C-alpha cells in the first residue's frame, strides 16, 4: 500500500537551510542569556494534564493537545454514562503536550526547590504545542525561547532583561523599540477612576488604542459601564506626550491618591533611571496602554517591536509575583521575557539580514573518479577533517558534471579534482565554483589554503 506522505496541519519540516538560519537565531539568544549568567534547562514534552489544566484560561484548556493513555485506554470507560466529550477526554487522557514554557518552569522550580539555588536564573528553548486553528504565521508546534529569574524582587533583573533585549537585537542587526509599562499603574488607574473591579475591561480596551484609535477605546470603555467622569480621567493618560520623565511626572501626580498606583510609578521611575545610566541604545518608551497577558503580570510589562518591519511584537514578558503558588510554593516573585523565534525569523528574512556564509556546508567536495582516485581522496579528506575542516567525497564514480552539480546545489564553495595527475603530483586541482578559478595545490598546503578562505568568509 503506497501512502502519499504528509504532515499534520500546522506543523513544519525544517530543511538544512532553514535549520542553519533558525540556529543562527538560537545561538545568538543563548549566548546573550549566558552572558548574564542564565543557564539552560529542559522539561518533558509531556506533562500531567493536572499540571496544565486551568492555567491558561478556558480557551487555553481547549487548545491543549491531550495524549491517549497507553495500554487499553478505554477499558474503564462506561459509555452509557452520558459523559460530555470533555469528561470522556479526561477519562482516557492523563497527559498533555507542553503549551508554553512558563507553567512547566513553575512546576520545575517547585518540584526541584531543594536542589536549586535562588535567585534561580534559567533559560529554556523548546517547542510548545497548541491546537490553534492553523493560519499564516501561526503553527501548532513552535519554539519558545524563555528567560526568567525567580526568587528576587530586585529591579536589576528588569534592567538586565532590557540589556539582553538590546544585545540580542544588536547582534541580529534588527532595530527595535522597547515598550515598558507596569501593572500596578494600570491597577492604580482603575482605582482612581472609581472602577477597581473593571481593571481587566479597562486594560483590554486601552491595549487596543494602536489598532482602533482613541475614540473607539472611549466607546468600548462606555460599553463596559464606565461613566463620563471615569473616562475623562483615563483619556489624558492615553494621550500623554513627552519624554518618559515627563510622562512619569504626570502619571505620578494623577495616581497620587492610589497606593498601588504610586508604587507602580516608583518602580517605573527606578527602572528608567537604571536604563538611563546603563546607556541602552534602542528607544525605550513608557507605554501606559501596554497590558499583555495581564492575568498574571503584577509589576513590569515589556514588549519589543521591530522598527523596520511590519509584524506584531517579537519579544515580551513581565513580572509575576506568585507564579509558583499554584504548585504550593507561595511568594516567589519572578520576571522574564520570551523571544518569538518564528517572528524574528520572518523579520530577518524580510529584511535580508541573515548572513550569507552557510557555516554548516562542507568547504570542499572531492571528485570520485575510480577506486585508486577514491583511495587518495579518502586520505586527503582525512587530513582536512582532522584539521577541523568540513568536506565531502562524492560517493559514486559518475560523470563529473553530476558531481559538480551536487556541490553547486549544496553551496559547497570548492570542487577538488583528484585524478591520476593529481595523485602523481601529490596535489589536488582546486576549483572555486563561484569564480571558476582553478589551480593545482600541493596536498600539504590544502588545509591552510581552505582555512584562509573560511577566515576571509567569516569576516564578511
Residue with smaller CB distance to a copy of itself, 44 or 350? 44
Give the count of beta carbons closer than 10 Å to the beta carbon of residue 4: 4
If the CB atoms of residues 132 and 201 are measured against a copy of itself, the closer one turns out to be 132
We find the least distance from the C-beta atom of residue 356 to a copy of itself, in angstroms, to be: 17
Spatial CB neighbours of 449, under 8 Å, sequence gap ≥ 6: 430, 441
How far apart are alpha carbons 449 and 234 in whole angstroms? 68
C-beta closer to a copy of itself: residue 287 or 392: 392
C-beta of 68 vs 440, nearer to a copy of itself: 68
The CA distance from 109 to 322, in Å, is: 12
d(CA 339, CA 315): 4
* 98 vs 179, beta carbon nearer a copy of itself: 98
Nearer to a copy of itself, 16 or 236 (CB): 16
Between 15 and 436, name the residue whose CB sits nearer to a copy of itself.
15
Which helix (H) or strand (E) segment holds residue 123: the answer is strand 120-129
Residue 23: phi, psi to the nearest 5? -70, -30
CB 288 within 8 A of CB 238: yes
Taking the complex as a whole, how short is the minimal distance between the CB of residue 359 and a copy of itself, in angstroms? 9
CB 424 to a copy of itself: min, Å = 18
- The nearer residue to a copy of itself, 195 or 368, going by C-beta atoms, is 368
Q: Are the C-beta atoms of 188 and 258 separated by less than 8 Å?
A: yes
- Min dist CB 250 to a copy of itself, Å, is 25
CB of 287 to a copy of itself, least distance (A): 24
In this structure, is the dihedral angle defined by the CA atoms of residues 149, 19, 360 and 24, taken in order, positive or negative? negative
Grid cell locating 93: 487522557
Strand partners, 414: 364, 432
Of 256 and 359, CB closest to a copy of itself: 359
Nearest distance in Å: CB 76, a copy of itself: 10
Shortest Cβ distance from residue 63 to a copy of itself (Å)? 7
- 67-98 burial, b for 16+ CB within 10 Å, e for fewer? beeeeeeeeeeeeeeeeeeeeeeebbbbbbbb
Alpha carbon distance 447, 391 (integer Å): 11
CA distance 1 to 290: 55
Of 23, 300, 327, 10, the closest CA to residue 156 belongs to 300
Identity of the residue, 131 or 311, whose beta carbon is nearer to a copy of itself in the bound complex: 131
Q: Phi/psi at 409 (nearest 5 deg)?
A: -65, -30
Nearer to a copy of itself, 143 or 297 (CB): 143
How far apart are alpha carbons 91 and 71 in whole angstroms?
14
Contacts of 206 (CB under 8 A, 6+ apart): 217, 221, 234, 238, 288, 289, 291
Distance CA 87, CA 78 (A): 12
CB of 330 to a copy of itself, least distance (A): 9
| Least distance between a copy of itself and beta carbon 174 (Å) | 18
Q: Of the two residues 157 and 181, which places its CB atom closer to a copy of itself in the complex?
A: 157
Q: How far is the CB of 370 from a copy of itself (least distance, A)?
A: 12
H-run or E-run covering 458: helix 446-459
As a dihedral over the C-alpha atoms of residue 227, residue 229, residue 235, residue 236, rounded to 10 degrees, the angle is -170
d(CA 307, CA 169): 11
Amino acid at each position: 500500500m503506497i501512502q502519499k506522505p504528509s504532515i499534520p496541519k500546522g506543523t513544519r519540516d525544517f530543511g538544512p537551510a532553514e535549520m542553519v538560519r533558525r540556529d543562527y537565531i538560537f545561538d545568538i539568544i543563548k549566548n546573550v542569556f549566558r552572558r548574564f549568567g542564565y543557564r539552560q534547562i529542559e522539561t518533558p514534552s509531556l506533562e500531567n494534564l493536572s499540571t496544565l489544566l486551568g492555567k491558561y484560561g478556558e480557551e487555553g484548556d481547549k487548545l491543549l493537545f491531550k495524549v491517549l493513555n497507553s495500554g487499553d485506554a478505554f477499558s474503564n470507560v462506561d459509555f452509557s454514562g452520558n459523559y460530555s466529550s470533555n469528561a470522556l477526554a479526561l477519562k482516557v487522557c492523563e497527559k498533555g503536550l507542553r503549551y508554553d514554557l512558563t507553567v512547566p518552569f513553575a512546576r520545575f522550580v517547585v518540584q526541584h526547590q531543594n536542589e536549586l539555588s535562588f535567585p534561580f536564573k534559567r533559560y529554556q528553548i523548546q517547542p510548545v504545542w497548541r491546537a490553534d486553528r492553523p493560519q499564516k504565521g501561526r503553527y501548532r508546534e513552535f519554539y519558545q525561547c524563555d528567560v526568567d529569574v525567580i526568587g528576587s524582587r530586585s529591579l536589576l533583573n528588569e534592567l538586565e532583561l532590557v540589556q539582553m533585549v538590546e544585545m540580542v537585537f544588536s547582534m541580529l542587526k534588527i532595530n527595535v523599540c522597547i515598550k515598558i509599562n507596569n501593572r500596578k499603574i494600570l491597577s492604580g488607574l482603575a482605582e482612581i477612576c472609581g472602577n477597581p473591579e473593571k481593571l481587566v475591561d479597562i486594560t483590554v480596551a486601552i491595549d487596543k488604542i494602536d489598532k482602533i484609535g482613541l475614540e473607539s477605546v472611549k466607546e468600548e470603555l462606555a460599553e463596559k459601564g464606565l461613566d463620563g467622569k471615569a473616562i475623562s480621567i483615563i483619556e489624558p493618560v492615553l494621550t500623554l506626550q513627552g519624554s518618559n520623565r515627563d510622562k512619569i511626572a504626570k502619571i505620578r501626580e494623577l495616581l497620587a491618591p492610589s497606593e498601588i498606583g504610586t508604587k507602580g510609578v516608583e518602580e517605573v521611575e527606578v527602572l528608567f533611571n537604571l536604563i538611563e545610566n546603563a546607556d541602552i541604545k534602542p528607544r525605550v518608551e513608557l507605554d501606559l496602554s501596554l497590558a499583555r497577558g495581564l492575568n498574571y503580570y503584577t509589576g513590569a510589562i515589556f514588549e519589543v517591536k521591530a522598527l523596520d518591519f511590519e509584524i506584531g511584537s517579537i519579544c515580551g514578558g513581565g513580572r509575576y509575583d506568585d507564579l509558583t503558588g499554584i504548585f504550593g510554593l507561595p511568594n516567589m516573585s519572578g520576571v522574564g521575557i520570551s523571544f518569538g523565534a518564528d517572528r524574528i525569523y520572518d523579520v530577518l528574512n524580510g529584511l535580508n539580514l541573515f548572513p550569507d556564509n552557510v557555516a554548516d556546508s562542507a568547504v570542499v567536495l572531492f571528485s570520485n573518479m575510480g577506486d585508486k582516485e577514491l583511495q587518495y581522496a579518502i586520505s586527503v579528506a582525512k587530513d582536512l577533517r582532522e584539521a577541523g575542516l568540513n568536506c565531502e567525497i562524492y560517493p559514486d564514480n559518475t560523470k563529473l558534471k553530476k558531481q559538480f552539480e551536487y556541490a553547486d546545489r549544496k553551496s559547497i564553495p570548492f570542487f577538488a579534482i583528484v585524478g591520476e595527475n593529481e595523485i602523481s603530483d601529490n596535489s589536488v586541482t582546486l576549483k572555486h565554483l563561484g569564480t571558476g578559478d582553478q589551480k593545482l595545490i600541493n596536498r600539504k598546503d590544502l588545509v591552510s589554503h581552505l582555512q584562509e578562505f573560511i577566515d576571509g568568509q567569516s569576516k564578511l
